Amino acid sequence: MSTREKFFVAVTGCPTGIAHTFMAEAALTNAAKKAGAGIRVETNGAVGIENALTAEEIARADMVILASDKAVEMTRFDGKPLIRASVGHGVKKATELVARAMAGEEAVYRHEQTATPDNEKPAAEKAERQGAGRSVYISLMNGVSNMLPFVVAGGVLIAISFFWGIYSFDPTSAQYNPIAASLFKLGKLSFSLMVPVFTAFIAYSISNRPGFVAGFVGGLLATDIGAGFLGGIIAGFFAGYFMKWMLHITRSFPRSLEGFKSIFLMPLIGVLVVGVFMLSAGSTIAALNKGMMVWLAGLEHANPLLLGIVIGCMSAFDLGGPVNKAAYVTGTMLLAEQGNALFMAGVMTASMVPPLVIAFATVMFRKYFEKEEQAAGLVNFILSATFIAEGAIPFAAKDPLRVIPILMLSASIGATLTFFFKVAVPAPHGGLIILPLVTHGLLWVIAILSGGLTGGIIYGLYRKAKFNKSALAV
């Protein structure tokens, strides 16, 4: 008598929704196949939810695997055993996650459970303690992922308008061009929505729709009073947790008042309280935000070597993970609030170098890499050119203690040279696609190639030594 094949459902999602999301999908699918289990993976990528899980699939699933750094609709998983992990673990530790799913010993998920049975309290309390920091991170990344399209669209449009001259948007300037002025206006409008959207989706990830309106208004106020991204973060979390508390204290309202509660009461109180809070604390937050921006911009001129090392190490440390995103968001923030394209250049360079290191190593030291690695290495030329650091992950994951330091050194070289060359990148995404818009574009390419070649030679020599050592052992 044969036993039923185990079946799992999974959700993957990363802040940008470009690489990690689909790498985790592939890794989990392959791991489940090797374990003799069936799996369906829903991806929460840049274009939204794809391969959405059906109610029937969730109902028959033996385990839910949540490998996501974005907010996910959790109500549907109520009553199912569930594994929580970062999208990075979905990429690097898929086999381990599937093994846990096969064991079937995970706790059952309860959505907003009001009463926890005594025998489940220790596990529930432990999960809550461990999940607090992760919840904050997911909320931040939910804001970042929804903000990025506005950043990219606005930044690129503004950069394109500069083709007609740096003052081509100004009707009083001799450089004025109506097409450029229109592009500049569209770009500025898109940029102006960054903080409100960022704040709204932080709040939304905490308290769903009730938090969205209060968060959006909080973000508008943060922009209006000059509190910027720092104000947006504070407003987002304040709005999210305040509205979550409001939902808790109004949970006993009768169903007949649900429309009054959701359409009138919650938005009114949320906007009022968050608005008063931001207007009261706004000047202090704005001063802190300004001080932080001035310090970061000053470091770029006072000590470009130190800044290059910091940005390079952050960007290459986890290749698209939270540390990398912290550097990217800082660059975006300076670009949006101060028009600082120099800092953005260093950040972009530091993320383009790691996949280039892999590409050069697999070409120059081809015989020391497996055929599958050689093919993946060639793809990294394209990933590097399009500002996708995640292409280096499979190589780093195989030997992180040696490969990641090489990538960090290489990215630091590239970023430092970019700062020394005074390269200015006026758009927050695109890689070499935006090369015509870059100030000192040739020097920028030299900085990227310098970091890539240096790292490629070091990594290639390491693989050669490793290969020769293995041959001698045989």
Which residues carry out catalysis? Answer: 14
DSSP 16: S
What residue type is 321 in one-letter code? G
| Structure-block tokens of residue 443 | 């020097």
What residue type is 104 in one-letter code? G
Q: How far is CA 358 from CA 167, 180, 395, 453, in A?
A: 41, 39, 8, 9
Q: Which residues make Cβ contacts (< 8 Å) with residue 29, sequence separation at least 6?
A: 39, 41
DSSP 108: B
CA 250 – CA 47 distance, rounded (Å): 35
Using an 8 Å Cβ cutoff, are 352 and 429 in contact? no
Dihedral sign of CA atoms 404, 405, 409, 412 in order = positive
Q: Is 46 helix (H, G, I), strand (E, B) or coil?
A: coil
DSSP 9: E
DSSP 5: P
Give the position of tokens 């050669």. 464
